[in-house]
């Protein structure tokens, strides 16, 4: 798994800033305003890629370290009464033309989405969609995940009758440049420049800097305080190291192919459904793929990331 933080600033003019430009991979989020005559505002949020056949969308997720949040700036979501949280049925457009601009999430479809799976789904609040334990996904063999026109994959459509824009942040899991299970945390906004996403490592470094600054201040005050500040530094360092060790252990995984939950030699829909069925359970079962003591979105992403035949 590769992990990067991509910072994307979007504007009303559908400006796209690519975070990186390696040969073929997920390069950023593009937000496109949509014109229609129905008296509310609509934006489509896309993942942008750069090469056919090498790249595809798998999941949009919120995890404890990379939370999902999508919100209306200064207002509420427009939700059509005949729509849902995934794209509408196109046969209703003739009688409900404004339904085409409903608010929903998807992987790759404006209507008639038959493949996007919601897991741990919190539902839309009036002005907010957020969670640290959810995802919407397609399996890595589903055509809906393939970049379409303009090398884009639609991730959602968001409308508002009373707000001025949308902003958000989430984890994106892709096959990028042929590399499965590539994960990027992205932020976007239709208005002011996006606040850069702060990674876990960034928080640790910031904490270390703050502790260091505290030590300097104390040293300047008196020598007696020095011992106390040394203890603070020691305790803080120990906690950080223990956290890092626990994280590394959790990532390691003991079995050859832990995502093959049913042990039939490949990672496929049956393994994915097993995670869904055991959602919220504790550890000690095969569905806790990463062995962190909880069946949650991280296990879901690990199954999607290991899709295919076991090595």
Q: How many CA atoms lie within 13 A of 179 on its CB side?
A: 14
Closest to Ca ion by CB, 181 vs 288, is 288
x-marked contacts with Ca ion along 198-237 as a string, rule CB under 5 A:
----------------------------------------
The answer to the question of residue 139 lying near Ca ion (CB under 5 A) is no
User: Min. distance of Cβ 264 from Ca ion in angstroms?
Assistant: 4
Q: Of these, 227, 228, 264, 269, which contacts Ca ion (CB under 5 A)?
A: 264
SS3 call for 116: coil
Size of the site for Ca ion (CB under 5 A): 14
The answer to the question of residue 290 lying near Ca ion (CB under 5 A) is yes
x-marked contacts with Ca ion along 50-69 as a string, rule CB under 5 A:
--------------------
Closest to Ca ion by CB, 79 vs 127, is 79
Using an 8 Å Cβ cutoff, are 108 and 148 in contact? yes
The answer to the question of residue 98 lying near Ca ion (CB under 5 A) is no
**φ and ψ at 48, to 5 degrees?**
-105, 135
Q: Of these, 168, 299, 305, 306, which contacts Ca ion (CB under 5 A)?
A: 299
The answer to the question of residue 100 lying near Ca ion (CB under 5 A) is no
CA distance 212 to 178: 42
Q: Of these, 66, 102, 142, 146, which contacts Ca ion (CB under 5 A)?
A: 102
Nearest Cα neighbor of 299 from 5, 28, 59 is 59
The CA-CA-CA angle for residues 169, 170, 174, to 5°, reads 135
Please count the helices (runs of H) and the strands (runs of E) in the chain: 4, 14
* Integer CA distances (angstroms), 125 to 60, 64, 113, 171, 269, in order: 18, 19, 22, 20, 30
Q: Of these, 262, 273, 276, 278, which contacts Ca ion (CB under 5 A)?
A: 262
The answer to the question of residue 168 lying near Ca ion (CB under 5 A) is no
Closest to Ca ion by CB, 16 vs 303, is 303
H-only helix segments in 153-223: 200-221
CA distance 299 to 28: 25
The answer to the question of residue 71 lying near Ca ion (CB under 5 A) is no
Give the interface segment with Ca ion, choosing from 54-62, 72-80, 108-116, 153-161 (CB under 5 A).
Answer: 72-80
H-only helix segments in the chain: 200-221, 224-252, 269-277, 297-305
Nearest Cα neighbor of 136 from 188, 84, 61 is 61
The answer to the question of residue 125 lying near Ca ion (CB under 5 A) is no
CA distance 305 to 311: 13
The answer to the question of residue 260 lying near Ca ion (CB under 5 A) is yes
Q: Of these, 10, 63, 86, 103, which contacts Ca ion (CB under 5 A)?
A: 103
Q: Of these, 54, 69, 76, 79, which contacts Ca ion (CB under 5 A)?
A: 79
Contacts of 145 (CB under 8 A, 6+ apart): 56, 57, 58, 107, 108, 138, 153, 175
Closest to Ca ion by CB, 112 vs 219, is 112
Chain contacts with Ca ion (rule: CB under 5 A)? 79, 83, 102-104, 260, 262, 264, 271, 288, 290, 292, 294, 299
């Amino acid at each position: 798994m590769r992990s990067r933080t991509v910072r994307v600033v979007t504007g009303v003019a559908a400006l796209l800033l690519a975070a990186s430009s390696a040969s073929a991979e997920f390069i950023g989020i593009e937000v496109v305003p949509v014109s229609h005559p129905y008296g509310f505002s609509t934006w489509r949020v896309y993942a942008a890629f750069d090469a056919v056949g090498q790249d595809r969308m798998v999941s949009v997720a919120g995890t404890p370290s990379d939370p999902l949040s999508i919100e209306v700036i200064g207002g509420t979501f427009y939700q059509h009464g005949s729509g849902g949280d995934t794209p509408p049925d196109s046969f209703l457009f003739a009688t409900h033309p404004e339904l085409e601009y409903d608010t929903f999430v998807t992987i790759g479809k404006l209507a008639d989405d038959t493949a996007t799976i919601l897991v741990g789904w919190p539902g839309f609040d009036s002005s907010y969609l957020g969670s640290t334990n959810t995802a919407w996904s397609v399996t890595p063999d589903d055509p809906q995940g393939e970049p379409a026109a303009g090398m884009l994959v639609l991730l959602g459509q968001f409308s508002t009758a009373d707000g001025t824009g949308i902003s958000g942040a989430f984890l994106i899991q892709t096959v990028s440049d042929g590399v499965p299970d590539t994960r990027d945390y992205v932020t976007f906004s239709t208005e002011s420049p996006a606040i850069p996403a702060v990674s876990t490592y960034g928080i640790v470094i910031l904490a270390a800097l703050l502790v260091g600054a505290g030590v300097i201040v104390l040293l300047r005050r008196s020598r007696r305080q020095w011992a106390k500040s040394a203890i603070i530094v020691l305790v803080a360092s120990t906690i950080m190291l223990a956290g890092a060790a626990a994280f590394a252990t959790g990532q390691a995984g003991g079995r050859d192919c832990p995502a093959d939950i049913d042990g039939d030699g490949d990672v496929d829909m049956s393994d994915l459904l097993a995670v869904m069925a055991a959602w919220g359970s504790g550890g000690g079962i095969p569905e806790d793929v990463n062995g962190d003591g909880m069946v949650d979105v991280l296990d879901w992403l690990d199954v999607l990331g290991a899709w295919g035949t076991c090595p």
